Amino acid sequence: MTPGARIAAAIEILDRITAGAPAEKVLVTWARRSRFAGARDRAAVRDLVFDVLRRRRSCAARGGGESGRALLIGLLRERGEDPAALFTGEGHAPPPLAACETTAGAPPEGAAALDIPDWMLPAFEDSLGNDMAAVCRILRERAPVWLRVNTARCTRDEAARLLADEGIATRPSDHVDTALQVTENERRTRNSRAYRQGLAELQDLHSQALCRDLPLAPGARVLDYCAGGGGKVLALAARQPRARYFAHDAAPRRMRDLPTRARRAGADIQLLSCGEASGRAPFDLVLCDVPCSGSGAWRRSPEGKWRLDRPELERLMRMQVQILEEAKILVSPGGVLAYATCSLLRAENEARIKAFLAANPGWVCHFRRRYSPLRGGDGFFLAQLGRKQTI
């Protein structure tokens, strides 16, 4: 595909996404019916689509509209490229710019320049303070690719050498000792020997840091109550193989790949069906990585930034309250209830813990930490709660 043809494909895909279709579904459908597109073409089109989704408001401002065509015009202008050089109408390129398109658009201002919704701006100001603009700029960029080395099976240096043998360059994190950032040939990772043999897993830097900060002891009973795909429980199992691990999710289908991933990693994780967790309680550690706005990971899932509204955020916060109430009864005396989000919002983080403690005076917070995108990973929050000790 020519550069112009890639632009035309991205326009078509973006029009479907802005009409309400999920981005991943549209991209997969386009790739299946576009047999002419090679792997590099598919990757390039995908990158164009996600670059626009991360910067949708600023692209719309510069392009003068919300259509896929206007958004691509805006992206090219932001990059300092002349849209007329690619909008030629030749071959499969999009038609040339109309006179009105050459004059449409203006530099974005306010929340549009930060690429966040207007209604979210006060919450970001309250939650991030002086870091707000810098964090918003990071959320407009592509996320780095991080691997978690399965240190139960190999060292980080050994994993890096195996990856390098297949042309995948990495560099170690300087503050998370399981983490490798992929710096070259990111798309080869899933087919690498290290990945297939369970020596390395894709996992964000701060997701790894959060798992590092959880208390683990040999023989502990650990429940990942909102396990999803199971990345965190796998990280915990690699860190302390002598503990016992259980995984639960309100939507069990999310865990469908976890048994395969666990076998590959050499981890023993027992899946619990809905309602089964209470029968297996108590647990020494209950991790609740709760559904949230996902604002700390918007550069990976930029659709969420534009689909989230106040009613949906309020629904998510009600769910967070419910999950904490369900999970607290599963914690053993002296055990830890860990509350985690990939959110930047105070309402989902510090305020949620404050409300829980107010409603549960027999509990205290032992540990609380924000993991900022300014340090290389996604935005996360972790609080560790426990029952007050009585004499």
What lies within 8 Å, CB to CB, of 65 at 6+ separation is: 71, 104
The two three-digit tokens of residue 43, written as one number: 């990757």
Give burial (CB, 10 Å; 0-12/13-18/19+) of 15.
middle
Residue 221: what pLDDT? 98
Domains recognised in the chain with CATH numbers: 3-105 (no CATH), 145-203 (3.30.70.1170), 211-387 (3.40.50.150)
- Catalytic residue (choose from 136, 211, 292, 342): 342
Characterise 105 by phi-psi region: left (phi > 0), alpha (psi -120 to 50), beta (else).
Answer: left
Residue 36: what pLDDT? 87
- Report the Cα 140 to chain-centroid distance in Å: 14
Strands 145-149 vs 200-202: parallel, antiparallel or unpaired? antiparallel
Question: Does the active-site annotation cover 342?
Answer: yes
Residue 171: what pLDDT? 98
How do the pLDDT tens digits run along the chain, 391 residues long?
Answer: 999 999 999 999 999 999 999 999 999 999 999 888 898 999 999 999 999 999 999 999 999 999 999 999 999 999 999 999 999 999 899 999 999 999 999 999 999 999 999 999 999 999 999 999 999 999 999 999 999 999 999 999 999 999 999 999 999 999 999 999 999 999 999 999 999 999 999 999 999 999 999 999 999 999 999 999 999 999 999 999 999 999 999 999 999 999 999 999 999 999 999 889 999 999 999 999 999 999 999 999 999 999 999 999 999 999 999 999 999 999 999 999 999 999 999 999 999 999 999 999 999 999 999 999 999 999 999 999 999 875 4
Residue 390: what pLDDT? 58
Residue 391: what pLDDT? 46
CA 389 vs CA 2, 57, 286, 366: distances in Å: 67, 51, 18, 12
What sign does the CA torsion over 183, 189, 194, 199 have?
A: positive
- Report the Cα 153 to chain-centroid distance in Å: 26
Give burial (CB, 10 Å; 0-12/13-18/19+) of 167.
exposed
3-state SS assignment for residue 369 = strand
CA 346 vs CA 118, 120, 359: distances in Å: 17, 12, 18
DSSP lists the bridge partners of residue 179 as: 148
